[in-house]
Amino acid sequence: MNVLKVSGWVIAAFVLPCLLLYVCLVFIPILVSIYSGMLDWNGIGASKFIGIANYTKMFTNDSVFWPALGRTFLLAGFSMLVQVPIALFVAILISRYVRRPNFLVSSYFLPVILSVVVIGQLWKTIYNPASMGGMINQILIGLGLDSWTHSWLTEPKVAIFAVILVSLWQYLGYHILIQFTGIQNIPADIYEAAKIDGADGFKADRYITLPMIVPIFKISVVLAFIGSLQSFDLIMVMTGGGPAHATDVISSHMYNMSFLSMKYGYGSAIATFLVFVCMLATVIINFLFNRLDKRYS
Count of residues touching another protein (by CB under 8 A): 137
- Is the dihedral angle over the CA atoms 214, 215, 216, 220 positive or is it negative? positive
Which one among 116, 164, 221, 234 touches another protein, defined by CB under 8 A?
Answer: 116
Q: Judged by CB under 8 A, which of 44, 147, 198, 294 binds another protein?
A: 44
Q: Does 117 bind another protein (CB under 8 A)?
A: yes
Q: Closest separation between CB of residue 285 and another protein, Å?
A: 10
Give yes or no for residue 22 binding another protein (CB under 8 A). Answer: yes
Interface residue with another protein, options 79, 249, 271, 273 (CB under 8 A): 271
Question: Of 23 and 81, which has the nearer Cβ to another protein?
Answer: 23
Instruction: Give the closest residue to 228 by CA, choosing from 276, 278, 178.
Output: 278
Binder of another protein out of 104, 140, 141, 210 (CB under 8 A): 104
- Regarding 143 and contact with another protein (CB under 8 A), the answer is no
134: closest CA among 154, 120, 151? 151
How far apart are the C-alpha atoms of 254 and 18, rounded to whole Å?
29
3 binds another protein (CB under 8 A): yes
Which residue of 90, 221, 234, 249 would you call a contact of another protein, by CB under 8 A?
90
User: Does 29 contact another protein by CB under 8 A?
Assistant: yes
In the complex, least distance from residue 282 CB atom to another protein, rounded to whole angstroms: 6
Contact 52, 38 (CB under 8 A): yes
CA distances from 114 to 160, 161, 164, 167, 171 (A): 22, 22, 18, 13, 11
Contact at 8 Å (CB) between 271 and 254?
yes
Question: Least separation, in Å, of the C-beta of 51 and another protein?
Answer: 18
| Window of 28-36, 48-56, 65-73, 74-82 that interacts with another protein by CB under 8 A | 28-36
234 contact partners, CB below 8 Å, separation of at least 6: 116, 119, 120, 163, 166, 167, 170
Taking alpha carbons only, the member of 269, 258, 16, 234 closest to residue 123 is 234
- Amino acid letter, 87: A
Determine, following the binding rule CB under 8 A, whether residue 45 of this chain makes contact with another protein: yes
Contact (CB, 8 A) for 164 and 173: no
| Cβ contact 149:132 at 8 Å | no
Q: Which of residues 207-226 bind another protein (CB under 8 A)?
A: 215, 218-219, 222-223, 225-226
d(C-alpha 160, C-alpha 181), whole Å: 32
Candidate ranges 48-56, 65-73, 74-82, 116-124; the one touching another protein (CB under 8 A)? 116-124
Query: Which residues are 48's β-sheet partners?
Result: 40
Q: Which of 68, 173, 221, 273 is close enough to bind another protein by CB under 8 A?
A: 173
Of 65-73, 76-84, 140-148, 238-246, the window that binds another protein (rule: CB under 8 A) is 238-246
Q: Is 288 in the site for another protein (CB under 8 A)?
A: no
Query: Using the rule CB under 8 A, is 185 a contact of another protein?
Result: yes
Q: Kindly state whether residue 118 participates in binding another protein, applying the rule CB under 8 A.
A: yes
Query: Which residue, 15, 6, 53, is CA-closest to 268?
Result: 53
